[in-house]
Amino acid sequence: MSLAHRILGLLNRYALCASVLFASVALADSPVAQQPANPADAIVGVWKPSDMDVSVQIANAGGQYTGVVLKAVNPAMVNTGLLRGIVFDPASGTWRGEVFAMKRGAFVPMQIRMTAANGFEMVAGSGLMSKTIEWGRLQ
């Protein structure tokens, strides 16, 4: 084998290694790589409901998820528990719990279903008294 063929072979190996390295770096930055290890944690973060001018921090609190108001036009709402008792159902891929309904002044049942990497849909209440609210991820 000539020197030219040997050099060409080495260059091909280095090119292959470089392409694998770049593909690995690109995958690490992709949304697929950023998925939480626990599917239930997909709702963890800071969210904004489409019907209110607030931001809500959803966090895991000992196996159940809760949501607390971080920012609001009304300062009295800050640190208020808006979501509670949220539990993930892996069979349906949804979360169930309770949301505080401002108009009723009480917690009502709700269900959350992810709609995209940066959003979820919440159905609050039940039957004719239900309301669907879109939420968007802030963080």
Distance CA 74, CA 130 (A): 25
Judge whether 79 and 68 are in contact, CB under 8 Å. yes
Residues 66-112: pLDDT tens digits?
A: 999 999 999 999 999 999 999 999 999 999 999 999 888 999 999 99
Torsion of CA 55, 64, 38, 51, to 10 degrees: -30
Tell me which DSSP letter residue 78 carries: T
What integer is the mean pLDDT of 8-16? Answer: 53
Banded pLDDT at 27 (limits 50, 70, 90) = very low
Two tokens at 31? 């949304």
Closest CA to 136 of 111, 16, 122, 126: 122
This prediction has a pTM of 0.72
The β-bridge relationship of strands 131-137 and 119-124 is antiparallel
Q: What gap in Å lies between CA 103 and CA 129, rounded to an integer?
A: 12
Confidence of residue 26 (pLDDT cuts 50, 70, 90): very low
